[in-house]
A and B are shown apart, each in its own frame.
Chain A
Amino acid sequence: MKHNGIFAALFAATLLVGCNQSKTNETGQEGSGKKLVIGATMLSMQNEFIVNVADEMDAKAKELGVELIIVDAERSALKQVEQVESFIGQGVDAIIMNPCEVEASSPAIKLAMDAGIPIINVNSETSAKPTAFVGSDDTESARIAMKYIVEKLGGKGNILMMHGFMGQAAQIKRDNGAKEILKANPGLKLLAEQSGEWDRAKGMSLAENWIQSYGNQINAIFAQNDEMGMGAVKALEAAGLKGKVLVVSVDAIPDALQAVKKGTLDATVFQNAKEQGSKAVETAVKAAKKEKFEQQVLIPFQLVTKENVGEFLK
């Protein structure tokens, strides 16, 4: 799988850099003097949420008249650090990083800081402190989801939890948030927890297997992302249990919003990709121009249920 990643990333990076460079030429003609250049390295352009953040960054950069170079780190922290190095080599005015890993992506922060280039983390964190952070607190998303379950079950019942890829920042934080609420509500019992690797098919298989072991005992399933949550919904529907089991997940991807509208998924937690993308570019531009900026831009999560799903469907 590693080889695959390397090839694909090289290919994608060439394409992306190529595209953006051609864009420079187009817009460069109308530009007035020196244009700000921002380099951005994203966790994975195979992830719908990240693609949404990147699209919004692109839109915001056009609006502000700055040049934005987006590259894909293909989930490799090593590649990400190398990409930041090459941004520094190109002499960009600011860097936006959507970190792959908490620890392993940290060296990139130090490199940029040493080169005197502002670096903004978007969506997730690194252990090294960047110039600014724009994103949401993942722990909070799980707290919101779990609190909804507590409320719906009246503080009593059996819960199953689907984890993301074990060891990733989002998985650890969503786990912490969920366990915090579970601890505060001893009436809720965690029957089992297992990784569905953020994947819909894996989440579905896991839910099918759980239905075999726990069947009617299950009151709610909390999935750490919508993909797995949607898988759980499919499995419960097939077993004729959907009416009895509450399913709540996180991210509010378009599919999940549709499911909330139909009432098959009970709730999801909306993480604002647009806001994260546009605020990241805004902050980067301010930092590059040495204007005042906030060092911590926290974009709140929102619970999406059947009652308010209309606001999120566009």
Chain B
Amino acid sequence: MNTISSSRFGKLGQYGIFLAFILICIVLALSTPKFFTVSNLLIIGNQVSINALLAFGVTFVIITGGIDLSLGSMVAVTGVVAATFAHPDTFPLLVPLFAGLAAGSAIGAFNGLVITKSKVPPFIVTLGTMTIGRGLALILSKGRPISNLSDAFNFIGGGNVFGIPFPIIILIIAFVICSVILNKTVLGRYMYAVGGNEPAARASGIRVSNVKMWVYTICGLLSALGGILLTSRITTGQPNAGAGFELDAIAAAIIGGTSTSGGTGTMTGTLIGALLIGVISNSLDLLNVTSYYQQVVMGVIIIGAVVLDGLGRKD
């Protein structure tokens, strides 16, 4: 009973966010003519892509009732790893891509393993991985950015296909795959079950540890994709890149209606959450609002979204 009503109101909350998003876009389009242009919308899509990928990953994790704070550090490690193998005339493009994705999946799997075997809360485990990851990125890069990357590698984050920035294409593909995993597969249904009521899920025969291993590994993989995009976009592997990215990603998921208590959340909601953050930060730049105020506005929106979600639930 409980899960049914909360998911219905979760949808209502998400509907609210969607309306809020449209409303904000209309206000912005009216306040500056520069906002609603094709080139600006493409730029927003491009800027949103990295955060959205991380947010998709963390949405899986939050739905199972967990959290992942190591996203930003995974972005740095995987970016540095990929950059190491991406110098021109060294390895074919697949090598840096595979190395980066493998590094991210490995760190994610490590998170999952420690969380399921030790029963230490995910908050603590991933807080530790966040620090380890940052340290690894600094060790691997010797504290210095890794530049001089091949053109093929730089295309991933900087290239266009039929006028559409490549990161947007990656974003759309990732969105479709993540939505399918969440809505159309057994694994997706198990994720909701584990997050909604873990003892019940266990009692009904779901192998909870396996589900958790999967979500943290997927989250690591998506972070790696984000790390590769970032590295390619700025054409350097930066050991200090991605600091604080986990917070933006978690914010996107929560704004999009994913409940931190687990069991509810959708990829569409998260995508809207990420777009909302991107649209606001883009338009505050267009309107030349000082960065101090930008931070305040962003915080107000996050709290507002959660309050809205909470109200929906009580009714």
Contacts and interface: CB of A to CB of B under 8 A. Distances in A.
Interface of A: 1, 3-4, 7-8, 11-12, 45-48, 51, 166, 192, 194-195, 197, 199-201, 204-206, 208-210, 212-213, 230-231, 234, 238, 253-255, 258
B240 to A, nearest CB: 5
B16 interface: no
Contacts of B90: none
- Kindly list the 8 A-B residue pairs having the minimum CB-CB distance in the complex, ordered from nearest: A209-B285, A7-B131, A195-B291, A200-B234, A212-B40, A192-B288, A213-B286, A46-B240
A33 B165 CA distance: 66
Contacts, number: 87
Contacts of B34: 212-213
A58 B46 CA distance: 43
Contacts of A200: 234, 236, 238
Contact of A51 (B40, B143, B147): B143
A141 B288 CA distance: 25
Contacts of B158: 234, 238
22 contacts: A3-B127, A7-B127, A7-B128, A8-B131, A45-B138, A48-B144, A51-B144, A194-B290, A194-B291, A201-B234, A204-B234, A205-B285, A208-B47, A209-B282, A209-B285, A212-B39, A212-B43, A212-B282, A234-B234, A254-B147, A255-B145, A255-B236
A4 B34 CA distance: 39
B232 to A, nearest CB: 11
B71 interface: no
A258 B145 CA distance: 14
Contact of A4 (B39, B47, B130, B148): B130
A238 B167 CA distance: 14
A209 B145 contact: no
Specify which of A4, A195, A210 lies most central, judged by the most chain B CB atoms within 10 Å of its CB. A4
A46 B239 contact: yes
Nearest to A163: B291
Nearest to A9: B131
Contacts of A234: 158, 233-235
Interface string B218-257: 0000000000001001111011110110000000000000
